Amino acid sequence: MVTAGRGTVLVARLDNAGDVLLQGPLVRAVAAGAERVVFLAGPAGADAAALLPGVDEVWTWACPWILGDPPPVDPADLAALTERVRALAPDEALISTSFHQSPLPLALLLRAAGVPRLSATSVDHPGSLLDVRHRIGQDDEVDLPEPERALSLARAAGFDLPDGDDGRLAVRRPLPPTPYEPGYVVIHPGASVPARAWPAQRCAEAVEALADAGHRVLVTGGPGERELTAAVAGTRGVDLGGATTLPEMAALLDGAAAVVVGNTGPAHLAAAVGTPVVSLFSPVVPAVRWAPYGVPTVLLGDQDAPCRDTRARVCPVPGHPCLTSVTADDVVAAIEKVRTEEVSA
């Protein structure tokens, strides 16, 4: 185990906001044993990185081998990042990846920048690129929740959570104030990957059903989802599409009785503020890894559908049956279930 004051540590996670939020336990473990933590994030994850307790500085870089819509490889861009890391002169770096991503291209860049100690989870032989080659099970396919998978890398590198840290997701507090009295239900209809989205018509039906059941309903979404959120909110929900920053979204979710959302960033943001989640979960990725972590959760959707474990971005099955099979009544019942679980916890 490392001792406190291990200098500057660079932590890298280069994909989406939800992926970054799941690094929270890893970051807190590193922060407990380092003097300074710099987080290298992709454009979609930088705001989430800034919400993580333990992060001192966030760098943003568009990675050409991780992002779903990657930029072209630009030698000048790679050289600029290399020189920036060289100037930072971190004492070590941890490269966190999902099971299907390789840490080795970034490890090569960081090694070329002079980082003396590199740790990552790697199935592929890393040669001299890694000092700590972490492996999870024989084939790196052990089904751990993603926060635990990331934390296992921190522990392999010699870091661990401080006493009293329960290893759940978390955000920096205090959060911004909101104009809404707590106790509402949030529906977030969008998803970064189409295969993981509950159909808009079903979302609109859920707003109506929840309103009929006596719930106040807020509908959230990003700036590019205003048309979607307006259609879903209708006349009985509050349309907040494009109206919140990520910290403001965290504050809204913090005040919710429950959140209805697919397998996308706000599901993990809800978990990070401790709010129960009704998860419209498409099985294109395993729920055991990616379901909301550490909070009362009801998983809706056919987890044995033909799309299971395909990692498809667009549903490969006509009609999107894994999620279209979920009804508004299912959601109303699930809301009552997670609220009961929260009260009894």
282 Cβ contact partners less than 8 Å away, ≥ 6 residues apart = 195, 196, 262, 263, 301, 305, 307, 315, 322, 323
- How confident is the model at residue 312, as a pLDDT? 82
- How confident is the model at residue 46, as a pLDDT? 98
d(CA 5, CA 181): 43
333 Cβ contact partners less than 8 Å away, ≥ 6 residues apart = none
* Residue 154, CA atoms < 13 Å, CB-side half-sphere: 28
**297: β partners:** 277
End-to-end CA distance of the chain: 34
Q: How far is CA 255 from CA 188, 259, 270, 274, 275, in A?
A: 15, 10, 10, 10, 8
Q: Name the stretches of the chain with pLDDT < 70.
A: 1-5, 137-142, 342-345
- How confident is the model at residue 342, as a pLDDT? 67
The hierarchical CATH code for the domain 8-156 is: 3.40.50.2000
CATH 3.40.50.2000 residue ranges of the chain are 8-156, 184-344
- How confident is the model at residue 141, as a pLDDT? 54
Provide the CATH topology of domain 184-344. Rossmann fold (3.40.50)
